[in-house]
Amino acid sequence: MIKNKHTLQASFRAAWWLKNQHLQTLYPVIFPFNKKIVLKRETIILADGDFIEVDWTANKSDDKPLILLLHGLEGSSKSSYIKRTMYEVFKNGFRAVCMNFRGCSGRQNKSKRAYHAGETEDLNFYINYLLQNEKIKSPIFIVGFSLGGNVLLKWLSENSNNIFISGAIAISVPFELEILANKMNRGFSKFYQWWLLKSLKNNLLKNDRYKDFNLSKEEIILVKTFWEFDDKITARIHGFLNAIDYYKKSSSRQYLSQIAHKTLIIHSKDDPFMSELCIPQDNELSKTTQLELTEQGGHVGFISGNYPFIPMYWLEKRIINFCFNLI
């Protein structure tokens, strides 16, 4: 039983038929959420003239508590975990909006820059946009998944004086990007690396902007690891010296002690995207941050249930419960 000052054992118990870390991770992808949810899209023009697109639940105009969702690497509002969460949020009387990172909404962006694990400017812009243009007076919560969770934790550390955010939840966060890059290049985790890199490279090749950074089509196609992609592409596009510089400056673990908002972090020890070495220690967490660890759950999985192929999604209920307790 884990019970330190800020670190607890979560109540989650994996389904007996999904005990394996990869089954927990892949089941929601192979059998995606299929309940219908109506979303309303909005285009937000950013300070540099580029745009992001956000998707609201149908009750956008209501004056109900709002949950802002941040997806993971190459995700979007169409990702199964986002759709499940938005459905649960709507069902429980909240509003939800998913901020699609640049290039993730299905439309190609105008600028050379994209998004990455440490990029918090677009999130900060959108939060200020919500406060100024939507004039939201109800509680605002932010939930980040995987890469989105890393972005969220870094943003929280940079905006400790923001009084408009009632709470935050970060799930399956890559606290140490270098550890993640190494883990994803070993064993079955290479499959996840291949799948995500395939999407990253395809999106990059859809337009000619990569040529502005002296990148060739052949050079992009030949990239086989996250290390290569982040060294040759992410770092070059976003002004980092190299992959190490990007990982060092963007990893959220170093920022956890600076978080002032009520924050819940949910993480599984068997996450196939990273090793247990990246899990922060109790003394690294701020006094307002709680880390809930599970023995099983995979990466953004956390599926329970007694009957095969009748999953019980624990994560979405935990998110709602956390938000309800802060209202």
User: Distance (Å, rounded) from C-alpha 70 to C-alpha 150?
Assistant: 10
Which among 59, 81, 61 is positioned nearest to 72, based on CA atoms?
Answer: 81
Which amino acid, 8?
L
State yes or no: is 271 an active-site residue.
Answer: yes
Of 183, 132, 125, nearest to 158 (Cα)?
125
User: Tokens for 262?
Assistant: 């009520």
48 is catalytic: no
Contact between 289 and 183 under an 8 Å Cβ cutoff? The reply is no
197-205's contacts with Cβ under 8 Å and 24+ in sequence apart are 197/223, 197/224, 197/225, 197/226, 197/229, 199/74, 200/73, 200/74, 200/229, 201/229, 203/74, 203/103, 204/233
Chain centroid to Cα 220, Å, comes to 25
Buried (b) or exposed (e) across 163-201, using 16+ Cβ within 10 A?
Answer: eebbbbbbbbbbbbbbbbbbbbeeeebeebbeebbeebb
Task: Give the distance from CA 119 to its chain's centroid.
Answer: 12
Q: Contact at 8 Å (CB) between 167 and 152? A: no
Q: CA-CA distance, 186 to 225, in Å (whole number)?
A: 10
How far is C-alpha 135 from the chain's CA centre? 25
Distance CA(211)–CA(140), nearest Å, equals 40
Tokens at 317, concatenated = 């209920």
Q: Which of 71, 116, 267, 299 is catalytic?
A: 299
| 146: annotated active-site residue | yes
**Measured between alpha carbons, how far is 24 from 14 in angstroms, rounded to an integer?**
8
Q: Catalytic residue, from 146, 157, 286, 304: name it.
A: 146
Catalytic site residue from 79, 230, 271, 304: 271
Active-site amino acid positions: 146, 271, 299
